[in-house]
Structure 1
Amino acid sequence: MLGKRKVQAEDLYKLKSIVDPQVAPDGKQCLFVVTEIYPDKDTYRSNIYWTTIGQMIEPLPWTFGDNRNFSPRWSPDGQSVCFISDRSGTNQLFIINSNGGEARQLTFHPNGAGNPVWSPDGTRIAFQIALGQGESLQEREDRKRKQMRSVPIEVDRMKYKLDGTGLWEGRYTHIAVLEIASGDIVQMTNGKHDYQLLGWSPNGQHLTIAADLSDDPDFSFIQDILLYHLETKTFTNLTRRRGIFSSAAWSPDGKKITIIGHEKEYEEYATFNKIWMYEVAEKKLACLTADWDITVGDSGFGDIQQGVVKPGILWCEDSRSFYFTATNRGSVLVYRGTVEGHIDPVLSGRQHVYGLSMGGKSDRAVVAVSKPAFPGELFVLDTGTGKLEQITRMNETFMEQVELADAEPIQFSSRDGWELNGWIMKPAACQEGQKVPLIVEIHGGPHLLFSDTYLHQFQTLASKGYAVLYMNPRGSIGYGQQFADAVRGDYGGKDYEDILDAVDYALDRYNFIDPARLGVTGDSYGGYMTNWAIGHTNRFKAAVAVGSISNWISEYGVSDLGYYLIETHMKASLQDVELLWEKSPLAYADRIETPLLILHGEHDLRCTIEQAEQMFIALKRQRKTVKLVRFPESDHYYPEHGRPSLRIKHLHYISGWFDQYLKTASEQI
């Protein structure tokens, strides 16, 4: 630790996000995407890098410049790579020879293009494109767009806005196929539905697509896996409106399709994802992991990774086994499954695997791994032994310069006997006998989880002398289906008690925590719980609510998903006004004595800015200590993906508020 400095909020400028590893078909090379902040323009730039597997060499950049270059996808023969770039002004498809040279632009539509998928013979690329009424594939990017006029927006559907996207512009996402040699593009799907491209069949005759083909999507919250027959231009529905299915992968022999999804037994967000097997010849769908109480996929999150791509199912060449990631007890790990339904861990330990790719033989894979004191790098995974070999060191300079706090896993029992898990992060500079303030962090969702991953906000607080407690209360993913479902209909109940039980456990176990100086903060559901907590206890001496909810009654109509979330997760309708008000932090504003800082994105459509305004006015009218900070051009997820300068100001606001109310005068020097 000698000579190392403390972590600062501004270290976001030094951290690099390493995501989306793509192993070549020969299994000897790997492409990946590195995203970093571009301070001069207060934005991000992404470039594609190349490295080898098995030979330790320095990764080389494949693309250059200050644009966004991402989604590299190898051709089946490994001779070419398709990727997406915004260098022309909008996201377009480009192709480049795998031996180098100049990239050639493939698409030119004003609306851009995305999600490229190669055909098995390497002659075509399927992709997604958004098209509105009167728009065609023939429009060119270089054609001047009609000047936007201030016109009224007519709304006749409930799903007319989406956080991060804005108001619906009348466009639907469709699938098109591009012939590489000629440049010809043919639109595959039509109509008033959105289609998500998943892949090609090994024989090149079908596309796998995810879509909801309901007549009235406003009242439908399902997603099916469809087979699109390229010759007949018809669909076969594989999942038949059973629930939410989001991923599909063909076995190499073309006889089976693995599908990830669920039947909404506990509604959309609380239900664990499972692996399903579709037998193509028999046209039968069966669940392989019905008795496995672990959710398939990555439910964790970090605050530095940009553009993480979910790997889905990766088949082995034998068409009998496959690899995937799953979220289990605070970690995201790699597992091997078989067509008979057997599952075995491949990579264990406490870590967050946020990327996975295979090519060639299945004896090794490339994984992207993060840990609480490790921002994230790529490793080669020996799938037989579970051994890891690091192949990138993009964040090595940062780690050599700063003193990072590690996170100690904790396990304890709730007051009603449930097993609970979390972490305690001790300030690296904490001296023997010193008492430090404690910040309690609460995650969003609630059907997400804190995991064994790097969180820059936590490291920033620890470097400023705070102990950080974060845990997964009831409702979190990764501890069994019953645990995840337990919060529905009980927001502010046992989940709140779990958080207080975690505080009591930490105070009893760690003598370096000052029980008189406790702070609490959280995003989204965590912001709601922050508001709720300070309305029900005065033990916290400072609080910061980010992107929070204060009034469930108004949230029903103003959020992009309010009506659905309240009906399925609060188990209430708009007629249950008394219940919704009883569960609203605003109802307890008169009890709040804790100084509250409210941080909110101006363009947040998930938990809209009026939620922050209501709590602010309610407290200010009573002369309570409260401050509201409105972040311009910011949606619900601005703390993780927003404008870099605003992300850094966000961190300073949080630490500054806690400094003001939790630190002594000498500690603030």
Structure 2
Amino acid sequence: MYIGHEREFQNATFPSLWLYDLKEDKAVQLSEMLDMYVGNCMAGDSVMGEVYQLPQWTKDSQGFYALVSDQGSTGIYYFSIEGLAYPVRLEAEHITNFSLHPDESKLLLSRLSPVSPSELYEMTLGETELKQITFEHHDFLKEHIVSEPEPFSFQSKDGDEVHGWFMKPSKMEEGKKYPLILEVHGGPHAMYGHTYFHEFQMLASEGYAIVYINPHGSHGYGQMFTDRVRGSYGDVDYDDVMQAVDHVLTVYDFLDETRLGVTGGSYGGFMTNWIVGQTDRFRAAVTQRSISNWISFYGISDIGYFFTRWQIDGDIYDSVDKLWDRSPLKYVKQMNTPLLILHSDEDYRCPVDQAEQLFVALKELGKDTRLVKFPKASHDLSRSGHPGQRIQRLTFIKEWFREKLA
């Protein structure tokens, strides 16, 4: 048994469960009918020391348990070797790891929720209630006000349903208007969902409302939804995030539409760069570990030389014009939003020259910008970086928005 795919949609293809018959020399795909991502594809910044969760066989070798991700949740499915599958637990939560009890009556879960960092829980198979085993964050949650995300959805321009979440400021006063920050996840093939996010909670505690969605290109909504963004960066995904901002501004009358911020990392950093090159509606932006120039990015990332060709549908031999058209750097003269650029010096996923090119161009044009580089840090700074640098990063974000959205 193994997890993999046959690159039907290149690097946007969902991983699936396969069973290999040694006698027949044949592999059978077991999870095809689900149209789900097998594994944990949740975006977040609150999982420490995560170990990749492998499927676990039952004692009789007739089936196994595996993580799946769907519509903002990561849970557990049971798969039989005959090809049957059913959910063991798929709720509004983020299960990162599990272990099957030796007598196969229970599961031990590592679980986050939107209002609680990771704790261990015990689940009796066949029952829905969980028994909490650890209480590592009890004091923290008792001492702090946690903003609970509110789910919403809207119909995109092409008719698909797009899911998102809205977080109110942790403390609110009657009649007061509050700024709104748009967050865009990386990937693009990843998923926001029902997990705890330190960055979002920090911003909420500072008096900001936050909106975040799973635009076209995200995991969790079927293979075709994920594949939709390839070759269309900055089109359907841009429309989705702008619609999300419009939606919450219409629903929540305490939001100040003149004080909007935007931030994101990796692909979310690309989108931040792209957004401020297309519109002036945001008063402040923070781009993190981003891409600004698809031409210079071509072939140098540790993600693989094929990434640009597969995702942007262009190469440096026959379609340089398309790469440049999709590069935020092309639109730098149109960037009027104050832009803070955060990047790790040893980022090999989105190399630091992407930040430096954008910064130099903005400075030459007299734009309001600042570049902060984190020495000896990697692309995963926000998730597994040095604790001191992780705090510094959040502080830079907080102070930039505080200054520009006052």
What TM-score, normalized to structure 2? 0.97
Choose which of 257, 272, 286 in structure 2 pairs with 1:544: 286
> In the alignment, residue 255 of structure 2 is paired with which amino acid?
I
- C-alpha displacement of 1:284: 2.4
Residue in 1 aligned with 2:141?
Answer: 399
Choose which of 570, 579, 590 in structure 1 pairs with 2:333: 590
- C-alpha displacement of 1:557: 3.9
Residue in 1 aligned with 2:394?
Answer: 651
Residue in 2 aligned with 1:523?
Answer: 265
> In the alignment, residue 274 of structure 1 is paired with which amino acid?
S
- C-alpha displacement of 1:585: 0.3
In 1, Cα distance between equivalents of 2:126 and 2:47? 28
| Aligned 1:287-326 pairs, distance under 5 A | 287-326=29-68
Deviations 1:362-389 (A, max 9, x none): 2211011101110010101112113211
Give SS of 2:34's match. Answer: coil
In 2, Cα distance between equivalents of 1:433 and 1:301? 34
Residue 283 (1) aligns with residue 16 (2): no
- C-alpha displacement of 1:292: 1.5
Residue in 1 aligned with 2:300?
Answer: 558
Deviations 1:483-505 (A, max 9, x none): 11011111111011111011111
Contact kept? 1:601, 1:632, Cα under 8 Å: yes
Quick check: which one's strand share is greater? 1
Choose which of 348, 356, 372 in structure 2 pairs with 1:605: 348
In 1, Cα distance between equivalents of 2:155 and 2:228? 16
- C-alpha displacement of 1:562: 5.6
Residue in 1 aligned with 2:238?
Answer: 496
> In the alignment, residue 382 of structure 2 is paired with which amino acid?
P
In 1, Cα distance between equivalents of 2:151 and 2:323? 35
> In the alignment, residue 368 of structure 2 is paired with which amino acid?
T
- C-alpha displacement of 1:597: 0.3
In 1, Cα distance between equivalents of 2:128 and 2:38? 19
- CA RMSD, Structure 1 to Structure 2 (Å): 1.2
Residue in 2 aligned with 1:627?
Answer: 370
Residue in 2 aligned with 1:568?
Answer: 310
Contact kept? 1:555, 1:562, Cα under 8 Å: no
In 1, Cα distance between equivalents of 2:344 and 2:382? 9
- C-alpha displacement of 1:411: 1.0
> In the alignment, residue 462 of structure 1 is paired with which amino acid?
A
In 2, Cα distance between equivalents of 1:279 and 1:613? 51
In 1, Cα distance between equivalents of 2:257 and 2:286? 18
Deviations 1:455-483 (A, max 9, x none): 10100000000001111111111110001
In 1, Cα distance between equivalents of 2:359 and 2:52? 38
In 2, Cα distance between equivalents of 1:344 and 1:278? 21
- Say which structure, 1 or 2, has more relative contact order (CA 8 Å, 6+ apart): 2
What TM-score, normalized to structure 1? 0.60
Residue in 1 aligned with 2:252?
Answer: 510
Which ranges in structure 2 are unaligned for 5 or more consecutive residues?
A: none
- C-alpha displacement of 1:645: 1.1
In 1, Cα distance between equivalents of 2:300 and 2:82? 47
> In the alignment, residue 515 of structure 1 is paired with which amino acid?
E
In 2, Cα distance between equivalents of 1:347 and 1:561? 32
Quick check: which one's helix share is greater? 2
Give SS of 2:383's match. Answer: helix
Percent identity between matched residues is 44
In 2, Cα distance between equivalents of 1:559 and 1:293? 29
Aligned length: 405
Contact kept? 2:93, 2:111, Cα under 8 Å: yes
Contact kept? 1:601, 1:631, Cα under 8 Å: yes
Deviations 1:580-635 (A, max 9, x none): 00000000000011000000101111111111111111111111101111111111
In 2, Cα distance between equivalents of 1:378 and 1:409? 25
Residue in 2 aligned with 1:642?
Answer: 385
Which ranges in structure 1 are unaligned for 5 or more consecutive residues?
A: 1-257, 664-669
Choose which of 613, 618, 627 in structure 1 pairs with 2:361: 618
Contact kept? 1:277, 1:287, Cα under 8 Å: yes
